[in-house]
Amino acid sequence: MKKNKSCPVSFKLIDGVVARIGAYFIILFLLTYILTSQIVFLYLLALDFFIRIYMNKSYSIVFQLARLTKKILKLETKLTDAAAKRLAAQFGLFFSILLVFEVSFDFELAFYITASILLFCALLEALFNFCVGCEIYYILKRWGLC
């Protein structure tokens, strides 16, 4: 019997369009760091993920920019379960902290590998509404780890 893939579920709904637009801003922050080498963009990225996970997301600059962009473009709301996006934000926080560490200790190759993974995941979310976090969750659940 084949198991169905699944995402974490919280039954709390959020605007998936805002989440997808937010992925574009995450890409922008990361690319801005790569182009300018100003570590403040990595700190802002890590802080933003932290705020969205552990505080009120209305304090998140990425959330505010995404909401404003959605309003300007007059896009329709498409609700989605919040748990998958929260899991993705937890991965984003981990990766952004790792990026700060790698830059701080001049681990250039490791930085570019980690940045590529984060960019790839954000691009999949932004362009195709594909959640890598859901795939990882499914694997962990299948192995009995969550």
- Per-residue confidence band for 1, with pLDDT thresholds at 50, 70 and 90: very low
Domain count, the chain: 1
Report the half-sphere exposure of 15 (CA within 13 A, side-chain side). 15
CA-closest candidate to residue 8, choices 105, 144, 136, 116: 136
**pLDDT by residue (tens digit) across 12-27?**
889 999 999 999 999 9
Rounded-to-integer distance, Cα 140 and Cα 138, Å: 6
pLDDT of res. 59: 97
Q: Is residue 66 part of a domain?
A: yes
- Per-residue confidence band for 9, with pLDDT thresholds at 50, 70 and 90: confident
Quote the pTM value. 0.88
Q: Which residues contact 9 (CB under 8 A, 6 or more apart)?
A: 81, 83
Are the C-beta atoms of residues 85 and 126 closer than 8 Å to each other?
A: no
CA-closest candidate to residue 69, choices 129, 123, 21: 21
Q: Which residues contact 1 (CB under 8 A, 6 or more apart)?
A: none
Q: Which residue range is the domain that position 66 belongs to? A: 13-142
**pLDDT by residue (tens digit) across 62-95?**
999 999 999 999 999 999 888 888 888 999 999 9
Q: Is residue 99 part of a domain?
A: yes
The torsion of the CA quartet 100, 105, 107, 113, rounded to 10 degrees, works out to -10
**pLDDT by residue (tens digit) across 30-64?**
999 999 999 999 999 999 999 999 999 999 999 99
Q: Is residue 3 part of a domain?
A: no
Q: Is residue 2 part of a domain?
A: no
What residues form DSSP beta bridges with 15? 79
